[in-house]
């Protein structure tokens, strides 16, 4: 009984301390919120009242925008002993600006939305840079509207705008890279910086894919960079695959453009590697002039690739993932030819050139000591 009595006493004391601490914390929280409001909007620019449904939250109304109310509170992380001020003011004002603008302005089929991290995201589909200009102008109209009717959004740095563009094909991009993300506007120090369309045009123009995609090309992806489409990608496309061209200081785009290949001529091999010091897979490619007239190396089509995995563990060929080395942790290793559903090379020619697979030939050069692939050779068949 004495033990239970002591437990009850300590529990009561603990509860009193906790309640006292919470009450003191609530007062401090309100003062912290008031200080923030004064610093941000001015001492006489707002009204604040406690939320009757949740006394930890406060409802704020700015005199300049009486139709809008937002919530704010202090969030505490008891385990870490930290706290931060939370408010939905950006969401309330940004959503209101979108709603008021779209009442009298049509942006369809484009969309405009609020994002907690970015503020505004303007999404559009365009087939050309000229078509993109139309959507850009609509977006600028919205930014102008916000600046005029909601200057507080600019003053508080809540008018960052990102433009998501679909439909425009860029060199070196994977099919999964559907969107181009452009940072258009940034509000900072009560000033608004907007990226002009001319700058966007000159940035994207050199990156546009101008040649048609070969539906018969063979897709492959090593563990570095972006995917390659053998028999379709040009050498110029390879320069945009997040890889570094070996001896880049001498193999500049200007010098490469001056290299002319005759019809049917195959280029010298060029090696691309990862920018990372921890990824050592390399991709060595050769391009061929498939046209009927002399052409620059940059316009020639990639028809052969050699992948040296080194630290890489696998490769995608078409949609098939192939393990390049045996690892007991990943289960029993399967011969790469079997994974692709083809037979290993049998004839001397196949052992030299590879085994037919779709519109290409595939050759896996195996290690002599254990189950691993030390080189993958892919050759497009015209």
- The whole-chain average pLDDT of the chain stands at 90
Q: What is the per-residue pLDDT for 189?
A: 93
Q: What is the percent of the chain where pLDDT is above 70?
A: 93
Place of tokens 């029993």: 332
- Going by pLDDT thresholds of 50, 70 and 90, the confidence category of residue 22 is very low
Task: Give Cα 377 distance to the centre of its chain.
Answer: 30
Distance separating alpha carbons of residues 62 and 47, to the nearest angstrom: 7
Pairing of strands 360-366, 373-380: antiparallel
- Going by pLDDT thresholds of 50, 70 and 90, the confidence category of residue 79 is confident
For the chain, give every domain's residue range. 30-87, 91-207, 218-380
pLDDT (tens digit per residue) in 302-357: 999 999 988 778 899 998 999 888 877 777 888 999 999 999 999 999 999 999 99
Distance separating alpha carbons of residues 364 and 374, to the nearest angstrom: 8
Residue 263 in this model has a pLDDT that exceeds 60: yes
Mean pLDDT of 247-252: 91
Residue 14 in this model has a pLDDT that exceeds 50: no
What are the Cα distances from residue 313, in Å, to 65, 218, 332, 344, 372?
A: 59, 20, 14, 20, 9
Distance separating alpha carbons of residues 287 and 265, to the nearest angstrom: 8
- Name the pTM for this structure: 0.79
Beta strands in 176-300 (DSSP E): 179-188, 191-194, 218-221, 228-230, 244-245, 260-261, 270-273, 282-288, 295-296
pLDDT (tens digit per residue) in 303-315: 999 999 887 788 9
Distance separating alpha carbons of residues 28 and 36, to the nearest angstrom: 12
């Amino acid at each position: 009984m004495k033990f239970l009595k002591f437990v009850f006493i300590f529990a009561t004391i603990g509860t009193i301390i906790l309640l006292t601490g919470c009450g003191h914390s609530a007062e401090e929280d309100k003062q912290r919120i008031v200080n923030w409001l004064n610093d941000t909007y001015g001492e006489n620019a707002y009204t604040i009242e406690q939320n009757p449904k949740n006394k930890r939250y406060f409802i704020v109304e700015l005199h300049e925008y009486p139709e809008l109310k937002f919530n704010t509170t202090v969030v505490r992380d008891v385990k870490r002993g930290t706290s931060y001020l939370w408010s939905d003011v950006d969401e309330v004002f940004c959503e209101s600006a979108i709603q008021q603008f779209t009442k009298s302005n049509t942006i369809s089929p484009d969309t405009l939305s609020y994002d907690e991290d970015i503020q505004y995201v303007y999404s559009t589909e365009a087939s050309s840079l000229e078509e993109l200009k139309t959507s850009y102008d609509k977006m600028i109209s919205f930014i102008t509207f916000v600046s005029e009717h909601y200057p507080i959004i600019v003053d508080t740095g809540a008018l960052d705008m990102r433009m998501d563009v679909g439909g425009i094909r860029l060199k070196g991009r994977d099919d999964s890279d559907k969107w181009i993300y452009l940072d258009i506007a940034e509000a900072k120090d009560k000033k608004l910086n907007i990226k002009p369309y001319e700058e966007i045009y000159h940035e994207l123009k050199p990156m546009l894919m101008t040649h048609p995609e070969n539906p018969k090309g063979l897709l492959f992806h090593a563990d570095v960079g972006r995917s390659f489409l053998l028999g379709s990608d040009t050498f110029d496309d390879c320069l945009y695959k997040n890889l570094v061209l070996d001896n880049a200081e001498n193999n500049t785009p200007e010098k490469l453009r001056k290299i002319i290949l005759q019809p049917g001529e195959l280029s010298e091999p060029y090696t691309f590697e990862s920018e990372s010091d921890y990824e050592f897979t390399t991709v060595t490619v050769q391009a061929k002039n498939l046209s009927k007239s002399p052409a620059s190396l940059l316009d020639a089509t990639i028809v052969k690739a050699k992948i040296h995995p080194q630290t890489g563990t696998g490769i995608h060929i078409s949609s098939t993932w192939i393990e390049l080395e045996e690892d007991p942790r990943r289960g029993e290793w399967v011969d790469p030819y079997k994974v692709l559903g083809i037979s290993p090379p049998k004839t001397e020619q196949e052992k030299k050139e590879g085994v037919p697979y779709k519109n290409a030939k595939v050759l896996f050069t195996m290690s002599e000591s254990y189950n691993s692939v030390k080189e993958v050779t892919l050759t497009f068949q015209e």
